[in-house]
A = this chain, B = another copy of it.
Amino acid sequence: MKNKAPTLKEIAKAADVSSMTVSRALNRDGGVREETRKRIVKIAEKLNYHPNRIARALVSKRSNLVSLIVPDIKNQFFAELARGIEDKAREYGIHVIYSSSDNKPENLKNYIRYMMEMGVDGFILASVRLREPIVEELVQQRFPVVLVNRKLSGEKGNYVVIDNFKGAYMITEHLIKCGNRKIGIIMGSSEMSTARERMGGYRKALSDYSLPLKKEYVFQGTFARDTGYKGAKRLLALKDRPDAIFAGSDHFALGVFDATYEAGIKIPEDIALAGFDDTEFSAHTRIGLTTVSQRKYEMGSMGFQILFRFIEGEEKDFVNRIVLEPRLIIRKSCGYSMRKNNK
């Protein structure tokens, strides 16, 4: 397949020096006479030398590889996160292996194990539950790990998230201020810090505005795609139907659109709707979903930044936690004026 791919040794022979000198010259460590350095570089170029990074990794204990584990790479949210990570990683010459766990703890465990065997320098994890023994162990061993968009219970380790509590509070408050009193909520699994905190923000807003928390207005689903649809079905079937729905993610909101469409209920005329995440389609002129911006790209970028500093070990007892501000994005799906006219 390959003809030869020259090695350090061969360059050394051609330049009549030791391979150590070639190594130094090519990796600009300094400590090589300028004249011989130039000569070596020239020869390396002529022979089309390329370093074997696997050999380098074996001895240096640094693979320059990092593992990213997300629930599903084809999900917009994680794809954008991945891009933020990639761009920042490239600045440092590091590359990313992605794995999709489908939110299955067993997959997460297997992938982490395998990636350790592959010798990755660290992990970026966007797919962990509040309790995840294998991750907690990694964190405790001080292996470089950064959580993104999720927290471990007890807030152990490093992470970058947005303030989900606050974001949910803002959304709920907005719905209330638009004149809604009966606010349904569709939320994912409470094993995730995100869902739990958003739920908290929703409760707090209701209570601050002296609105009752009715448990029939709360639909607790899974990660599955159809949670939004199922939840909306349930909420719309209630005798005392909510006048607004807070979907725990824009993807859930998609399901709500479908369910309302089927039922002949109009958004926002008949019912208000808000999401969470600000995925690309939410901004579409035909959809105009009110939502909370997550700054996924930034999360990825900052997440990698933190991971890298951890790997480099610049600080001992390294801990870095970033909580980004959520941003409320008001679009027409729960517009005040439209709804007022209809009452």
Q: Across the interface, name the chain B residue whose C-beta is closest to A110.
A: B90
Residue A278 at the B interface, CB < 8 A? no
- B-contacting residues, A49-68, CB 8 Å: 50-55, 57-58, 63-65
Q: Are A257 and B280 in contact (CB under 8 A)?
A: no
Closest 8 CB pairs between A and B? A79-B79, A281-B281, A74-B83, A261-B285, A286-B286, A74-B80, A74-B79, A54-B119
- In the docked arrangement, what's the CA distance between A118 and B65, Å? 10
Q: Are B1 and A142 in contact (CB under 8 A)?
A: yes
User: Given A1-B142, A79-B74, are A86 and B113 neighbors across the interface (CB < 8 Å)?
Assistant: no
- In the docked arrangement, what's the CA distance between A162 and B65, Å? 33
User: Given A54-B119, A119-B53, are A79 and B73 neighbors across the interface (CB < 8 Å)?
Assistant: yes
* Chain B proximity of A252: nearest CB distance (Å): 14
User: Given A53-B118, A257-B284, are A73 and B65 neighbors across the interface (CB < 8 Å)?
Assistant: no
Residue A336 at the B interface, CB < 8 A? no
* Chain B proximity of A59: nearest CB distance (Å): 10
**A-side interface residues toward B, CB under 8 Å?**
1-2, 50-55, 57-58, 63-65, 72-76, 79-80, 82-83, 86-87, 90, 95-100, 113-119, 141-143, 254, 257-258, 261, 280-281, 284-287, 297
Q: Are A98 and B86 in contact (CB under 8 A)?
A: yes
Would you list 18 pairs from A and B whose C-beta atoms are within 8 A, ordered by A residue? Answer: A2-B143, A50-B116, A50-B117, A51-B117, A74-B82, A74-B83, A79-B79, A83-B100, A95-B97, A95-B114, A95-B115, A95-B118, A96-B98, A98-B98, A254-B284, A261-B286, A281-B284, A287-B287
User: Given A1-B142, A254-B284, are A96 and B95 neighbors across the interface (CB < 8 Å)?
Assistant: no
* Chain B proximity of A79: nearest CB distance (Å): 4
Given contacts A86-B98, A95-B99, 8 further A-B contacts (CB under 8 A): A2-B143, A50-B113, A52-B117, A72-B83, A73-B79, A74-B76, A257-B285, A287-B287
